Amino acid sequence: MLEIRPNCEHCNKDLPSNSNEAMICSFECTYCKTCAIEIFENVCPSCAGNFVERPIRTSEMIAKYPISTKRIYDPKDLEKAKFNADKFREIKPENR
């Protein structure tokens, strides 16, 4: 089950559970759309996977399966992220 993390790991922007701005990779690294697409160019700086929009959990399901309250704030080294993006951006995610 997804943790539904509450913030962007790079810029610390709040990403409430109903946010359309939240992007995740297959390891649930969580970023806002600006960081995921514009800064990291759809290449996760941690695992080199791609990003997809995080699904929204309904309030009824949040009551039953609470979302994470643990904030992860770990700004990435932009030079390393740029190297990673340059290396993988042109390779389709299924071929990385």
56-85 confidence digits (pLDDT tens): 999 999 999 999 999 999 999 999 999 999
CA torsion 15-67-75-12 (nearest 10°) is: 30
Task: Determine contact, residues 57/4, Cβ cutoff 8 Å.
Answer: yes
Q: Which two tokens stand for residue 68?
A: 């994470």
pLDDT tens-place string over residues 9-58 = 999 999 999 999 999 999 999 999 999 999 999 999 999 999 999 999 99
SS3 for 26-39, per residue? CCCCEEEHHHHHHH
Q: Would you say the C-alpha torsion 87, 90, 93, 94 has a positive or negative sign?
A: negative
pTM: 0.92
